[in-house]
């Protein structure tokens, strides 16, 4: 009686640490056929079928040899062996490092590395503000999702300090899933909501990250203020289902 078994030749398999390695044989002959897999000439408990999948491999499995004994009532045939080479898993890619904030930046948590801390979201419709990964040049970014429309939808930070009659620069990165725009303003946090240099500036968004820079000069206050609000406004352009991402929000005195 002839019993044929495949694969007919020696094999070398390579796997990384933690992966599962599968191997199988195909045998033909007078049934019934029985199978027993071995590792390094020792029976593998429960491995009694035409295929076998290892547990997650480790470096201790490197250079291990696997083969299968296939038997019927007349004879036992041993498959050619398969040698396993185990490679170390690749190192994970490092998380993006947020760009350094300019000297004198007055915003808090500019790259959302501390989650939603110091940022506030309001809508008179239905929406959501979460921090997602990755950001533009950092690990995180703010993500604003419009569930329903609203006439007042904003992300803001308040209690910012500004000097009078001083040149400043506002810089941030942003995108939206539809390319719908938003506006940004800097003004007094409470009534009479005095413009502090940026009034409903339109931000022309696309579906890809872009960095925006706005130069402005604060009014000639009598003295420095500590009640400025930085506000991103979405109600004018956003529709249900829109998502906006914002990252790396900084305000600093211009050189």
**129 to 96, 116, 120, 205: CA distances (angstroms):** 22, 8, 9, 18
Entry pTM: 0.62
pLDDT for 104 beyond 90: no
Bigger pLDDT: 138 vs 2: 138
> What is the 3-state secondary structure of 20-37?
CCEEECEEECCCCCEEEE
| Beta-carbon-side half-sphere exposure of residue 54 (alpha carbons within 13 Å) | 27
- Which CB contacts under 8 angstroms, 24+ apart, belong to 148-152? 148/240, 149/125, 149/238, 149/239, 149/240, 150/123, 150/124, 150/125, 150/126, 150/235, 151/124, 151/125, 151/235, 152/122, 152/123, 152/124, 152/235
- Average pLDDT of the chain is 87
Summarize pLDDT for 200-247 with one digit per residue, the tens: 999 999 999 999 999 999 998 889 999 999 999 998 777 888 999 999
pLDDT for 79 beyond 90: no
| φ, ψ dihedrals at 115, nearest 5° | 70, -140
| φ, ψ dihedrals at 214, nearest 5° | -125, 120
**pLDDT in the model for residue 90:** 65
| φ, ψ dihedrals at 28, nearest 5° | -125, 140
Write out the H or E segment, with its range, that includes residue 135.
none
Contact between 219 and 196 under an 8 Å Cβ cutoff? The reply is yes
Q: Which residue from 99, 106, 157, 150 is spatially nearest to 128, judged by alpha carbons?
A: 150
pLDDT for 2 beyond 80: no
As to burial, measured by CB atoms within 10 angstroms (0-12 exposed, 13-18 middle, 19+ buried), residue 241 is exposed
Mean per-residue pLDDT, 85-90: 77
Contact between 40 and 46 under an 8 Å Cβ cutoff? The reply is no
């Amino acid at each position: 009686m002839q019993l044929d078994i495949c694969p007919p030749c020696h094999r070398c398999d390579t796997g990384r640490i933690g992966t599962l390695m599968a191997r199988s044989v195909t045998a033909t002959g007078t049934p019934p056929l029985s199978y027993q897999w071995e590792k390094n000439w020792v029976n593998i408990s429960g491995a009694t079928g035409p295929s076998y999948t290892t547990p997650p491999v480790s470096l201790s499995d490197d250079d291990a040899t696997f083969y299968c004994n296939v038997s019927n009532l007349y004879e036992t045939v041993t498959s050619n062996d398969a040698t396993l080479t185990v490679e170390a898993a690749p190192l994970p890619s490092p998380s993006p490092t947020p760009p350094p904030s300019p000297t004198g930046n007055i915003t808090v948590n500019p790259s959302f590395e501390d989650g939603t801390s110091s940022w506030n979201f309001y809508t008179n419709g239905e929406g959501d503000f979460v921090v997602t990964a990755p950001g533009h040049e950092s690990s995180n970014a703010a993500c604003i999702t419009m569930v329903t429309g609203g006439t007042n939808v904003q992300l803001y930070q308040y209690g910012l300090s500004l000097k009078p009659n001083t040149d400043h620069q506002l810089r941030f990165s942003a995108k939206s899933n539809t390319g719908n725009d938003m506006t940004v303003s800097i003004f007094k946090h409470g009534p009479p909501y005095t413009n502090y240099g940026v009034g409903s500036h339109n931000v022309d968004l696309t579906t890809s990250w872009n960095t925006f820079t706005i130069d402005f000069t604060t009014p000639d206050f009598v003295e420095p203020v500590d009640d400025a609000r930085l506000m991103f406004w979405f109600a004018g352009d956003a529709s249900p289902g829109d998502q906006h991402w914002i990252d790396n929000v900084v305000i600093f005195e211009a050189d």
